[in-house]
Structure 1
Amino acid sequence: MKKIYFASDQHFGAPTPELSLPREKKFVAWLDEVKEDAEAIFLLGDLFDFWFEYKTVVPKGFVRILGKLAELRDSGIPIFFFVGNHDLWMHDYFETELNIPVYHDNKEFTFSGKTFLIGHGDGKGPGDKGYKRMKKVFTNPFSKWLFRWLHPDVGVSLAQYLSVKNKLISGDDDVKFLGEENEWLVLYAKRKLETKHYNYFIFGHRHLPMIIPVGEDSQYVNLGDWIGYFTYGVFDGESFELKKFEK
């Protein structure tokens, strides 16, 4: 039976290309494994710790990841990519080079009669107003135009330096489960259910693997990450499960 796979928050390139390489190879091994029975693969953002597309330039590296995605896509496996807060400046490179659609916000899908709301998860739900304001600045066309004037050697190096200051990447792991009443993506899912039913809310961003019931026949899923957990989601047509890649 064909399955649908989901993964998020790989943050490749961090904290350094050398330290990222083993994780990249592990992710390629996972892609090799799931391609045997994958109906589709969803990547829910922060695949790279930083990504910016100049008009004719993209960040150096990641050839194993990009080559494997191209191989799977050329073999006929649909792949869907949702930008995260670390790769939100992705434009059309994946679409033109890999034939992988790129989404900048949540999108609904239906599989085997089950409805899914899928996205990275950043900036959703109540609170976090500081980040929401910052995201508006970063996604503003004028801000992107200004950054594009920096030489790639300067712009990419600066962005990578600032990105690895993120506590999730630097190793200062303060991510803890806040309880259902305080997890803002749980609150977001429950609010969405007031207007429309979804069987599954699939998100990343929080770096914590979890499945939480949010309503009758409705679950919130966070996919975890590929920094410390190496977790992924799989839907077999009847149920959704979180698994850990051990190889």
Structure 2
Amino acid sequence: MPAVTLFISDLHLCGTRPAITGLFLDFLQHRARAADALYILGDLFEYWIGDEATEQEEFRPIVHGLRRLTTSGTPVFVMHGNRDFLMADGFEKATGCRLLADPTRIDLHGTTTLLMHGDSMCTDDVEYMAFRAQVRNTAWQQAFLGKPVAERDKIVRDFREISKNSTASKKPEIMDVNQKAVEAVMRDHGVQRLIHGHTHRPNEHIFTLDGQPARRMVLGDWYEQGSVLSVDARGWALKGLPLEKTLTNEKMKVKS
């Protein structure tokens, strides 16, 4: 069998959606174990208050599932998203995963490819970009992580509600990536291939960059089903991962 590299993003795992958590754990136990590597390009979790979250009940099964996969020999690389950008050394130690910078350039079966979460290219959403700059600031993060866990948890949950209300009032195209921003980052990194998530708009975009064919693959979210991009030497395939075909009622009951 040819070596296969898997890419997923935007799972937004949390305790309120146990079926999706069950689907992800099933994916880790079976399909991911046969992969050459697994890349998770941001928003693995719905929120992350700091690495104390590795011990929270709703996230513990996920941490253990990742640890079992990495222990079995499959490398797992995780990129920060806009919901879980506070993952740090504690997350790496608990799961055996390796955190990736955003963006990161890799050799993907002979093709240089840029990996991103994708939110940094949503430059038309001025309000979000200002918020992103605030929470990615080192001083802000240090101040936030210095607060008690309960206070951090409340702040993050409040942020989630504000985000939901704000998103509901915005035009969809404002929250998508800006094509000029896409071309600029690909040009800066010298690539003609880009894989990212964030927008929840799974699709393949073919365009011309500096006179050469370019390709941008957008990963899907894990709300109604899973979404997995498989890449090997023969090509790329982005497919859904239906709940009903992978889970029984028992598997939907997440166990730690």
Shift of the alpha carbon at 1:42? 0.2
Query: 2:114 aligns to what SS in structure 1?
Result: strand
129-138 vs 200-209, greater mean Cα deviation: 129-138
Q: In 2, are the aligned partners of 1:116 and 1:200 still within 8 Å (CA)? A: yes
Change over 3 Å in CA distance of 1:11–1:165 after alignment to 2: farther
Question: How far apart in 1 are the matches of 2:154 and 2:144?
Answer: 12
2:134 matched residue in structure 1: 137
Decide which of 156, 159, 181 is 2:153's aligned counterpart: 156
Query: Quick check: which one's helix share is greater?
Result: 2
1:152-191 to 2 correspondences below 5 Å: 152-167=149-164, 176=172, 178=173, 183-191=176-184
2:39 matched residue in structure 1: 42
Q: One-letter code of the match for 1:140?
A: N
1:87 matched residue in structure 2: 84
Shift of the alpha carbon at 1:35? 2.7
Shift of the alpha carbon at 1:229? 4.5
TM-score (normalizing by structure 2): 0.81
Decide which of 49, 54, 77 is 1:52's aligned counterpart: 49
2:5 matched residue in structure 1: 4
2:201 matched residue in structure 1: 208
Q: One-letter code of the match for 1:85?
A: N
Q: One-letter code of the match for 2:241?
A: F
Q: Report whether the alignment pairs 1:117 with 2:114.
A: yes
Query: 1:95 aligns to what SS in structure 2?
Result: helix
Query: 2:49 aligns to what SS in structure 1?
Result: coil
Shift of the alpha carbon at 1:111? 2.1
For structure 2, the residue ranges without an aligned partner over 5 or more in a row are 247-256
Q: Structure 1, residues 28-81: CA drift from partner, whole Å, max 9, x if none?
A: 112223234200000011111110226xx3361212211111011011111100
1:26 matched residue in structure 2: 23
TM-score (normalizing by structure 1): 0.84
2:227 matched residue in structure 1: 231
For structure 1, the residue ranges without an aligned partner over 5 or more in a row are none
Aligned length: 236
Q: Report whether the alignment pairs 1:245 with 2:238.
A: no
Q: Structure 1, residues 115-173: CA drift from partner, whole Å, max 9, x if none?
A: 110010112264333322222211222212322343212221331243155439x9x69
Query: 1:58 aligns to what SS in structure 2?
Result: helix
Question: How far apart in 1 are the matches of 2:196 and 2:184?
Answer: 15
Question: How far apart in 2 are the matches of 1:98 and 1:230?
Answer: 21
Q: In 2, are the aligned partners of 1:210 and 1:223 still within 8 Å (CA)? A: yes
Q: Structure 1, residues 80-136: CA drift from partner, whole Å, max 9, x if none?
A: 000001011122122222232212410000022111100101122643333222222
Shift of the alpha carbon at 1:232? 1.5
Q: In 1, are the aligned partners of 2:105 and 2:189 still within 8 Å (CA)? A: no
Query: 1:47 aligns to what SS in structure 2?
Result: coil
Question: How far apart in 2 are the matches of 1:147 and 1:160?
Answer: 14
Change over 3 Å in CA distance of 1:196–1:87 after alignment to 2: closer
Shift of the alpha carbon at 1:195? 5.3
Superposed CA RMSD in Å reads 2.7
Question: How far apart in 2 are the matches of 1:69 and 1:223?
Answer: 20
Q: One-letter code of the match for 2:11?
A: Q
Query: 1:163 aligns to what SS in structure 2?
Result: helix
2:216 matched residue in structure 1: 220
Change over 3 Å in CA distance of 1:39–1:207 after alignment to 2: same
